[in-house]
């Protein structure tokens, strides 16, 4: 592929630059790729989006709520092991209650800066406000929520009247719970990505879209 791109560069500079951009993964959606052979990139070469929330790093009393861990240190190491398992072509959306204040704050920020991928972070009600000034370059803070692929992304569930034309709301905050209608039925316009709701794993974007489409 590289040899082909270099050969085109001398003859068709503009097309060659587009080809190299596609090869490097800059244009990841098939619509943007002008070369038919590169429209269906292998899964391992595509940017993969995941959503999670309520990691509670640095929460001293976390074992009170997550009794499967014997100590806060064991809990935090399990979280980092999970985060460090994702490859470079990852966009991780973390929807609040990510990192608490405490003596390990600077150490945890350093470890987060060594992750090979980008993180979009919505701050939750328990997050250290020092993240505003000490946030590593691979973490982008979103305030207070944002739109992503026609969905709202927030820490707390957005009020139903504010969903407007979006297909749904991806959120956290609720530990072991989901949003219900007034009649007690689950409200399918919401998807809770809290770790406690999802086997302690981030949720792939495809799973969330399938939920909102009713598949």
Nearest-10 crossing angle of helices 105-113, 72-83:
20
* Residue pair 192/96 in contact by the 8 Å Cβ criterion: no
Do 171 and 77 lie in one domain? The reply is yes
Rounded to an integer, what distance in angstroms lies between the CA atom of residue 54 and that of residue 66?
12
> pTM for the whole thing?
0.77
Q: What is the CATH number of the domain that holds 183?
A: 3.60.21.10
Do 198 and 105 lie in one domain? The reply is yes
Beta-carbon count within 10 A of 191 CB: 22
Do 28 and 62 lie in one domain? The reply is no
Burial class (CB in 10 A: 0-12, 13-18, 19+), 88: exposed
Please tell me the total count of domains within the chain.
Answer: 2
Domain that holds residue 113: 47-212
Do 112 and 61 lie in one domain? The reply is yes
Per-residue pLDDT of the chain (215 residues; tens, 9 = 90+): 545 444 444 444 444 444 444 444 444 444 444 444 445 656 556 789 999 999 999 999 999 999 999 999 999 999 999 999 999 999 999 999 999 988 889 999 999 999 999 999 999 888 988 888 889 999 999 888 999 999 999 999 999 989 988 999 999 998 778 888 888 888 899 999 999 999 999 999 999 999 998 85
């Amino acid at each position: 592929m590289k040899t082909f791109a270099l050969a085109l560069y001398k003859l068709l500079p503009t097309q060659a630059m587009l080809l190299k951009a596609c090869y490097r993964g800059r244009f990841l959606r098939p619509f943007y790729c002008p070369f038919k052979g590169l429209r269906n990139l292998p899964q391992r070469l595509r940017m993969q989006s995941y959503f999670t929330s309520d990691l509670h790093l640095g929460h001293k009393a976390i074992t009170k709520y997550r009794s499967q861990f014997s100590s806060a240190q064991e809990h935090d190491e399990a979280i980092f092991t999970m985060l460090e398992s994702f490859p470079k072509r990852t966009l991780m959306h973390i929807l609040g209650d990510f990192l608490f204040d405490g003596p390990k704050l600077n150490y945890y920020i350093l470890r987060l800066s060594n992750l090979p991928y980008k993180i979009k972070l919505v701050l939750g009600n328990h997050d250290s406000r020092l993240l505003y000034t000490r946030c590593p370059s691979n973490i982008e803070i979103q305030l207070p929520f944002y739109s992503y692929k026609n969905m709202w992304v927030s820490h707390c569930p957005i009020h139903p009247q504010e969903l407007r034309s979006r297909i749904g709301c991806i959120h956290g905050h609720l530990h072991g719970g989901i949003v219900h209608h007034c009649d007690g039925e689950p409200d399918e316009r919401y998807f809770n990505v809290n770790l406690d709701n999802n086997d302690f794993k981030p949720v792939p974007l495809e799973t969330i879209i399938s939920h909102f489409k009713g598949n």
